[in-house]
Amino acid sequence: MRGKELKQVLEDRNFPAEEIVLLDASAAAGTLTEAAGEPTFIRELDEDSFDRVRFAFFAGSAFDAEHNWQAAQLAGATVIDLSGAVNATGRPKPWIPALSPELPPPPSAGANGSANPKPYYSPPAPVIIGCTVAAALSSFKPLRVAITLYPPVSERDQLGIEELESQTTNLLSFRPIEKAIFGEQVAFNLLAAYGEDTKPPLADMRKEVAREVVRYLAGRAAVPAMQLIQAPVFYGYAFNAYAEFPSAIAPEQLAAVFSGLGVKVSGEGEPVPNNISAAGESEIQLARIEADASVAEGVWLWGVADNLRLSATNAVRIAEELVAASANA
């Protein structure tokens, strides 16, 4: 799913590539598809897959990324990881280019052909959301920030989508439901925890998101408290946040900073964004920021993002920034 979205973003943004090569495990190798409007076949991963490749995006399984990223790096490609497997080694540099106005970018990697070009990590949607909220509010010195995130079932890949679809159909037909992925009924429900045998537990996912936000902010902005609640939706990462400041801040001031970081903020009279309106959009969608009804110094934020598109766009933006830096060197 990430790979399909990444390919679409590369095409939509007219990424300057002579060729886009699609690689996958042997099960998908040989499948006819298209890239940049031209028919092509998905090629099988092998030791020669990364010859003359400048950027190697790992958007498939963690297994494929773990076992092939070093081969890509040795071939001279700059690795951009979306799977999390390369990030688990502690070597990649996480990067969210949209936040560069508030959080300076990391040093550039070596150019194609260098001995060890630095790998990069494009964080998933909840980490981008958490860091964006923290970065936008940082200059106002918030006393506290809390974010509740509502992940869609597509965060558990295709099997999560199939389980929600199956549960919904069976419940409406008064039939027993399967709980293999979430361990609980997720259809028509909200979950603060998965079933006991579900791996990884929702609590571990929350800790991982929080850990990645702390790592990226690195003391440059106040770290928000974060909670995850599983929502019965297929796509779109929704969130609401509360921030409190030493003194009252006009919502318009906050909106201006969010807009400067690439967030689309709804104007007066415009509809409140939702999972449907965010589908296919590359940026975070934010409703009008509202002052709290009882705490004069507090504000509420509601936002959504296409979870697959947001991370894929961030990965492509990393490559675009590196191309621009190389051209200006």
pLDDT tier at 8 (50, 70, 90 boundaries)? very high
Same domain, 93 and 146: no
pLDDT of residue 46: 78
pTM (2 d.p.): 0.91
Q: For the domain that residue 9 is a member of, what is the CATH number?
A: 3.40.50.720
Same domain, 143 and 226: yes
Q: What is the mean pLDDT of residues 34-52?
A: 72
Same domain, 12 and 152: no
Same domain, 232 and 156: yes
User: What is the rounded CA–CA span in Å between residue 52 and residue 16?
Assistant: 15
Same domain, 45 and 151: no
User: What is the rounded CA–CA span in Å between residue 172 and residue 154?
Assistant: 21
Q: What is the mean pLDDT of residues 246-253?
A: 95
pLDDT of residue 60: 85
Same domain, 315 and 303: no
Q: Residue 106 corresponds to which tokens in the numbers above?
A: 């990391």
Pairing of strands 290-291, 225-228: unpaired
Same domain, 97 and 210: no
SS3 of the chain: CHHHHHHHHHHHCCCCCCCCCCEECCCCCCCEEEECCEEEECEECCCCCCCCCCEEEECCCHHHHHHHHHHHHHCCCEEEECCCCCHHHCCCEECCHHHCCCCCCCCCCCCCCCCCCCCEECCCHHHHHHHHHHHHHHHHCCCEEEEEEECCHHHHHHHHHHHHHHHHHHHHCCCCCCCCCCCCCCCCCCECCCCCCCCCCHHHHHHHHHHHHHHHHCCCCCCCEEEECECCCCCCEEEEEEEECCCCCCHHHHHHHHHHCCCEECCCCCCCCCHHHHCCCCCCEECCCEECCCCCCEEEEEEEECHHHHHHHHHHHHHHHHHHHHHHC
Average pLDDT, the chain: 90
Q: Specify the residue for token string 């929502």.
A: 231
Same domain, 185 and 211: yes
Q: For the domain that residue 164 is a member of, what is the CATH number?
A: 3.30.360.10
Same domain, 36 and 178: no
Same domain, 81 and 159: no
Query: Model confidence over 54-112: pLDDT tens digits?
Result: 999 999 888 888 888 999 999 999 999 999 888 888 788 899 999 998 998 766 555 44
Rounded to the nearest angstrom, the gap between the alpha carbon of residue 168 and the centroid of all alpha carbons in its chain is 26
The count of domains in the chain is 2
pLDDT of residue 105: 73
Q: Which residue has the higher pLDDT, 24 or 274?
A: 274
Domain extent for 118: 2-123+311-328
Same domain, 59 and 89: yes
pLDDT tier at 268 (50, 70, 90 boundaries)? confident
pLDDT of residue 26: 60
Same domain, 115 and 226: no
